[in-house]
Structures are given as C-alpha cells and as structure tokens.
Structure 1
C-alpha cells in the first residue's frame, strides 16, 4: 500500500525548493502562474498558507469550520525568504501528520466536511506539486514531482478519476492542467476525501483505492484488525471496488467501509455497497465481521448507520441484501435493522432476499 504521510509532505516541499530556489532572483510578482489569475509570488504564498492551515486543522481538530487564522509574510521578504516560509510550513504539516493518531478527523469542506491525517497530507502534497508546476511552467523551468507522489495523490484524493497510463499527466488532466487522449478537458474539479459515517460504537470508514488494493492483495490496508481480520468477504469487496476504480466507474460514497471500533481504533469488519443505485434507486449491501467481534451487535449497528445514510439520499429508494438460508445470525441482523424478507421460503433457493424501503 502507498499511504500518505509526513515524509511525503517533506519530499514534495524539497522538490519545490529545488526547482524554484535557483530562480528566486527573478521577478515573480510580474508573472502570472500558468493557468492562474495569481502571480507566481501570490501562488507560492498560497502554498505556504495552505500548508499552515492544514497543520492547524490537524493540531486543533475543529469539526465545523476552519480555525480562523492565516499567515502573513513579512514586508520586504524576497522570494528566497518566501521559500523558507514554504519550508517551515511544510515541516509543521509533516510534524502534525506524524503526531496525529489514526482516524482522528478535522474539518475540511470537500466533499464530506472532514479529513484524516492521510487526507491532509495528500492535500498538502497536492498544493505543493500542482502549484510548483504552475510557477515553474510560467518561469520556463522544468518540473516533475518525485516518484510516487502523483500516484499517491490520485489514489487518496481522486478516487473518482480513472487511472491513466502515467500518474503525473493524469493528475494534471484531473485538475484542468493538461490533456489526456480520449478524455474530455476538465474545467471544474474537486478532490474527494473519504466518507466516514459515525455510529454509536463504530465508525464506518470509507476505503480509498490504495487501501482497497492492499486488502485485495492480502495486506491489512493500514488498519489495525482484530485477530483473524479482515474476513474474506471484505477482501473480495475490496477487489470489486478496485476493479470499479480502474474502470472509471467507482463512486466513492457507494464503495466499501471498514468498521472501526471507537474505543480502541481496531477494525472489526467491513460493510458496503455492491454498486451504485439502479434507475429505480435500488442498491444492494453486504457486510461481515471478524469472528471475535460477532454476537455484540456491531453488525446491526453498522447496517442501521449505512441504511440511514443511504435512505436520506434522493438517489436511493431501497436497500436489499441476500443471505444464505443457513445464516440465521445474519438474517436476525437484517431483521433488527428494519429489513423485511421479500423472498418466499419454498425450499427452492439457497438464499433469502431482504429489503428496506425509504
């Protein structure tokens, strides 16, 4: 797996300083960043402001808004001094990422009003590499980020974007900065942090493509699993999610979620959708639990949380699930969550079908 971390932020900043440092003596104020309304100077100031803002969000962990502070560059600071500010704010974000516990989230508006440490690291890296490119191109110098950074940003912030033949051109295309053969130009874009749905004792943590790929390949996805996890159903669901991502049809909110226990941060199972809602607003769900977490009501809690979220949407009218005839425990979970059995028990089928309507 390729998780985002503080070292990635440092690597991105080092690359920025390496390419812009040698041209710091040039006029940045009188030249606009490539494709931007800002000058090169203003663009680099924006990078420093974004880095310190993300560090502040992780340190203070506000849940409803940005912490109301900003950054001010000393009057008279030259371009070399501005790059030192970028170095410093990058170091602060890297430190905040390293010291923030897993699954702690703070406010960020896009698109689900929260991000975790990996999300803030990825956003910081994205700000650095994209705007370094904007400034470098405007000043006529070559730039490409360090190996792996563009691919990591795509996997952690652009799960809705089909991977291209190379990561850096794909990231430039996805942010309206370039072209890809066979794809229409991008004129509006947003990155997407993962969705987390809170329940009473659990958080339903949306899996990013990089995490799903690691689970599919037999890894732990960077999660601290209860002994015996993840269950095979979660790995299989992660594999289907990766196929959808690689095929360009993945909708992150209708993906797979890890069930993470709030009391200790341990993953105890998985839940998710088998695809997007059909034209009638019908969508199938599935779930499983690590054996040691069964019999404690976690599955019922997770199904209720997922159903409440889904049925509050305009594009979902009903949820359904299929359960093997012998799996009476799972049938009881669906019953407690409000699902009704809609298949006849005539002994002809291996599974029962359950449905919950809005």
Structure 2
C-alpha cells in the first residue's frame, strides 16, 4: 500500500485554494462560516494553524500536549492568508514524507497519539471541512474530489458506516449535513488508530484503509518479514472490512499488526473477533508469519492484548478457540494464562477471566 498522505494533503489544499481565491476580495471577517461561530477569515486562519500545528507535532515527536504555535496575520489580506495556508501545507507534506511510519506524536482523540497517516488524514479533514464552512458562509458551491473524503473516512472515521457518497458521509459525520437513513450528529471526533506497546513489539491498530489493502493481497502499509503477511492476517483484515462496511466496526476491538521494535518489520497479527458480547466475553485470534515463528512473539502479543482487554470495564472473559491438533498455538494460550474451558472433536476452547 503506497503512502498517499502527502499527495492527499496537497490535493486537498489545491482544491480549497482553487475556490477560495475566486472570492479573496470579499469581506471574510463580516461573513459567518457555515454552522460555526467563527467568521470566514477566522476559519481560514484556523486551517493554516492546524496544518502548522500538525507539522510541529509530528516533526517534534511531541508526546504530550499540542505544540505552542500561533500565526500572526492580523495585517494580511485574504489572498495573503491563503498563501499562508499553502505554505503550512508544504511544511506538513515535507514532515509526512520524511517521518517513519512507526513514529507517533500527541493527539488527544481518542487514544492520545497519531502516526503520519493519521496526521495526513486530519490535515485533509481540516482543509475539506473548513473550506466547506467558508464556502457556505460566502454562498459558494464546494465539492472536493471523491478520493479525498474517502481517504479521511477510511483512516480516522473507522466507526462510521461508509456510503457511496463519501463527501456527504463526511459532512454528516461531522455535524455539517444530513443523510436520509441516519440521525443527525451533534457531537463527534475523529478516531486515530490504537497502538498498544509490548516489550519487543508494538500492536498497531489496522484502519479500514489498511484492511482493504491487506485483504486484497497488499501489505497494508507495513514492512513485513519474509513470508508475511500470513493467511490468517488477510482473513482477519477481511472480517474487519466487512464489519466496517456494515457500520458495526469498533476499532479498539479490531485487528492489530505486530511490529517488531528493533527493525520496524511486521511479524504477524492479533485481534478480537468483535466487541465483547452482553456477558462481557470477547474472542481473540492471532497468527505469526512463518519466518518469525519460534521467538515468543505470539505469547508476548497475547499477554499484552489480554491485559489491555481485561482492563476494560466491559470485559469479563477472553476466549480463544484452537484446533485440537495445533500444538504450538495451544502452547501460546497456555503460556499467556488461558485455561481449557471446553472441547469437541475438532477444537479446544480456552478462556482467561478478569
């Protein structure tokens, strides 16, 4: 899966500037921006500030709080303000293209950090949505290229059921529009992928965009060891994609790729078969690429995911269903603390209670 973050940010800003420059001679301070409480000028300034802040967050590898930056453009004309938007876009694109994918920096929603793909998607979202707000305030028509809202939805709105019209879906998901079969949205935030640290690994949450690529035979944006990803990873990605398309995907109960800290290579995957049921039971599954087996990665990952899952109030029990003849996998669950809880001729059920 080729990294498209920088290109998508460029395309978003080009789409925005092509429209807004046609109205740069208008009174932006006196016009309200759509449903916001800001003026059109304040909204354009926010676009530039967001792009600059994301650049600073990612370039500085900030682990806590937003970077304390502000732009002083009080005397700038509207046209000059749009030049600032273009400049901050170039800064963000440069940072995205030179930052390793495993690097994460602070962003509050919802798990406290984002990688370069997340910051790219947030940057695109800021530009598209606030261009819409300004256009609405100035009485202009705006619709971005369809691949841009799709890029945003499949990376930072994994909890939103997709529709054939990605732009209308994004407007609905951010309280800016209506969809005929869905209730209005009054509160929202985007959802960067969850990363759970282990000892030698990080468990990196798979987005719908990555799942689509993995299930189609791609690498999902990860650099894999030889022989990876294994068949089970692709099957899990397909299950995630179906849940996303049905609108029932909950990212924290999805799929995680296991990335080795020493070299950034993916060695396998682990995850849940879905959110916990009414009794608080959640099923887990995992696989390891053949070239990475025999190093204890599956045990380490399962212990880590089990600790994380059982710490949630909605979970009482984790279960794993293993083929009776799969001796290595049965050893993994046993080492992770699971105990036998049932069996039939083909499978053994293990469970771990909180």
Normalising by the residue count of structure 2, what TM-score does the alignment of the two structures yield? 0.98
CA pair 46-53 structure 1, distance change in 2 beyond 3 A: same
Report the 3-state secondary structure (helix = DSSP H, G, I; strand = E; otherwise coil) of the residue aligned with 1:188: coil
Is 1:124 the counterpart of 2:126? The answer is no
d(CA) in 2 for partners of 1:2, 1:238: 17
d(CA) in 2 for partners of 1:336, 1:99: 40
Superposed CA offset, 1:73-96 (max 9, x none): 2x3211011001101001100111
How far the C-alpha of 1:143 sits from its partner, in A, is: 1.1
d(CA) in 1 for partners of 2:198, 2:162: 33
The residue aligned with 2:164 is 165
The residue aligned with 1:68 is 68
CA RMSD of aligned residues (A): 1.1
d(CA) in 1 for partners of 2:141, 2:67: 36
Match runs of 1:15-164 below 5 Å: 15-73=15-73, 75-164=74-163
The counterpart of 2:348, out of the listed 336, 342, 352, is 352
Report the 3-state secondary structure (helix = DSSP H, G, I; strand = E; otherwise coil) of the residue aligned with 1:342: strand
The residue aligned with 2:176 is 177
How far the C-alpha of 1:2 sits from its partner, in A, is: 7.4
The residue aligned with 1:222 is 221
Normalising by the residue count of structure 1, what TM-score does the alignment of the two structures yield? 0.97
Match runs of 1:237-248 below 5 Å: 237-248=236-247
Report the 3-state secondary structure (helix = DSSP H, G, I; strand = E; otherwise coil) of the residue aligned with 2:342: coil
The residue aligned with 2:289 is 290
d(CA) in 1 for partners of 2:339, 2:124: 47
How far the C-alpha of 1:4 sits from its partner, in A, is: 4.1
How far the C-alpha of 1:211 sits from its partner, in A, is: 0.6
Mean Cα deviation higher: 6-15 or 298-307: 6-15
d(CA) in 2 for partners of 1:69, 1:130: 22
How far the C-alpha of 1:48 sits from its partner, in A, is: 0.5
Is the contact between residue 203 and residue 259 of structure 1 (CA under 8 Å) also seen in structure 2? yes
How far the C-alpha of 1:104 sits from its partner, in A, is: 0.6
d(CA) in 1 for partners of 2:76, 2:296: 60
d(CA) in 2 for partners of 1:69, 1:172: 28
d(CA) in 1 for partners of 2:157, 2:178: 17
d(CA) in 2 for partners of 1:113, 1:275: 23
Report the 3-state secondary structure (helix = DSSP H, G, I; strand = E; otherwise coil) of the residue aligned with 1:322: strand
The residue aligned with 2:333 is 334
How far the C-alpha of 1:67 sits from its partner, in A, is: 2.1
